[in-house]
Structure 1
Amino acid sequence: MKIDIVSVFPEYFDVMKLSLLGKAQAKGLLEVSAHNLRDWTHDVHHSVDDTPVGGGAGMVMKPEVWSECLDQLLGLDTSAGADEPSISQGPIVIFPNPSAPLFTQADASELSGAQQLIFGCGRYEGYDARIPDYYRAQGVDVREYSIGDYVLNGGEVAVAVMLEAITRLLPGFMGNPESIVEESYTGSEPLLEYRQYTRPTSWRGLDVPAILTSGDHGKVDRFRRDEALERTSQLRPDLVERLDCSQLDKHDRAKLGALGWDLSGEHPRRTK
């Protein structure tokens, strides 16, 4: 996978050289390049923003700077005489945006199959809304995602979050691929993961649940499944509401019933 990141602070992404992301690059699983948006400016001040049309506080990132940058990274031919812009490849362009749909594990899973991702980091009051509109009109797959119900100073943190969620799903990225199978939000049932423990089994008066040391794998699996259902019911009931009642076994149904869920319909419904 090839990843290009555009930012006015490209040095922020030096962190991509650390830990598993750094090892994955060393192994040739992915290539990460951070670009300075100011390299595509032509004025003495290297300006990338201007005041909002219609008034208002802050500054907005200018479309002409972004267009020169994205044209080059996308391989778009916009030279004079070209019949129409043409895309040499099919990268996916992603802009973090607090007003966009929420980025999910399902999105990370889908994007992990892409050949090339281009991330654009907005700053100030954001980027001119015509930028994603223009490139979608050229046939580019442009995505805008939020990572939560809050606002950041810029898109760099959000890009780092999405990048880690996406790249860890690449084949060969994780030392033990089984470690991602039962994580929160993963699979057809997006439940929160059960809690994890390690040795010592007794620590400062707190003991690991005895069932986990019983050696009975069937009971351990059931304990973990019940805890996942209970934690999800308590913390993210919206995820329980997405479950397919027809796919729940009798133990799941008993647990959810005890937690106050009506399972008579297609999806669980809270009764208390």
Structure 2
Amino acid sequence: MRIDILSLFPDMFKATMGESMVGHAQENGFIDINVTDFRQYTTDKHNHVDDAPFGGGAGMLLQAQPIFDAMDAVQKQAKEAHYEPGRVILMDPAGRRFDQAYAKELAQEEHLTFICGHYEGYDERIRHLVTDEASLGDYVLTGGELAAMVMIDATVRFVPGVLGNQASPMGDSFSNGLLEYPQYTRPADFRGMKVPEVLTSGNHQKIKEWRMRESLKRTLERRPDLLKTAPLNREQQIMLQDLKLDMEEKDDEDN
């Protein structure tokens, strides 16, 4: 996968994108990340990339010209490297909410381009370049760089080879619509806190059932909203009903 990023602050990506999983993925050739400072493409003699909005208003808007010209250059480089234009993602608080399903969707692409805004917003014509508008949530960041880093990190986990064990991201929270079950490692007894016996029993069927139940329990306790859309099978539905009854009985006892 090739990932291009358009940003006024390319140095922000050096540490984050050069370390840990993303850094190793680049070293091993699974992904290729390129950051372009679109200030280098401005035709303004003072090197400005923003201007006041027509009609007045607070703040400054990113101009279309530097980003259009930077995109032309980036797409040309990608084409020379035998990549199709791919999806172009504009980081915008008004965009589609990013989640695990969106990350998995983006991971199917061979080429992604992220446009990171700054200042008050964008010249509306910049949206003609994009295929996606994305947001992390209902809040505003100073710029799109942090949001792009989060999206890239979550997305490349699904790129084959990046995690070594391709089953790993499939067990992550939200991948199946539920929160992940609790996990433990050695020692089995740490300061009196013991690992559930079922996990050391060697009975794989019982372990599977325990994990399913704990995943449902954690989701019910912490994110019950997820259960409205989670694709539960018959066995999970029965487990969920049992868990709800257990919680109701516990509430009655407490009261």
Measured against the shorter chain, the TM-score band is 0.7 to 0.9
Superposed displacement of residue 178, structure 1: 2.3
Superposed displacement of residue 184, structure 1: 1.2
Unaligned ranges ≥5, structure 1? 77-87, 137-141, 262-272
Correspondence 1:90 to 2:91: no
Unaligned ranges ≥5, structure 2? 78-82, 246-255
Alpha carbon RMSD of aligned pairs, Å? 2.0
- In the comparison of the two structures, how many residue pairs are matched? 239
Q: How many Å separate the matches in 1 of 2:69 and 2:179?
A: 43
Superposed displacement of residue 255, structure 1: 2.3
Give the 3-state SS of the residue equivalent to 1:44 in structure 2. Answer: coil
Identify the range of structure 1 (233-242 vs 220-229) with the bigger mean alpha-carbon deviation: 233-242
**Which of 157, 167, 174 is 2:163 aligned to?**
174
Asked if the contact 2:177/2:231 (under 8 Å) is kept, the reply is no
* Corresponding residue number in structure 2 for 1:270: none
Correspondence 1:196 to 2:190: no
- Within a 5 Å distance, the mapping from 1:1-272 to structure 2 comes to 1-15=1-15, 16-75=17-76, 89-132=84-127, 134-135=128-129, 142-186=131-175, 189-244=176-231, 247-249=233-235, 252-260=236-244
Superposition TM-score, scaled by structure 1 size: 0.81
Asked if the contact 2:67/2:126 (under 8 Å) is kept, the reply is yes
Superposed displacement of residue 244, structure 1: 4.2
* Corresponding residue number in structure 2 for 1:265: none
Q: How many Å separate the matches in 2 of 1:216 and 1:54?
A: 70
Identity %: 42
- Which residue type is aligned with residue 51 of structure 1? A
Higher helix share: 2
Superposed displacement of residue 228, structure 1: 0.7
- Which residue type is aligned with residue 64 of structure 1? Q
Asked if the contact 1:74/1:91 (under 8 Å) is kept, the reply is no
Superposed displacement of residue 105, structure 1: 1.5
* Corresponding residue number in structure 1 for 2:248: none
Asked if the contact 2:36/2:70 (under 8 Å) is kept, the reply is no
Q: CA-to-partner distance for each residue in 1:104-161, whole Å, 9 max, x for gaps?
A: 21221121121211111111112222211x236xxxxx10111122221111111111
Q: CA-to-partner distance for each residue in 1:49-100, whole Å, 9 max, x for gaps?
A: 1123333322111112211111222349xxxxxxxxxxx9332101111111
Asked if the contact 1:50/1:62 (under 8 Å) is kept, the reply is yes
- Which residue type is aligned with residue 150 of structure 1? Y
Q: How many Å separate the matches in 1 of 2:60 and 2:173?
A: 38
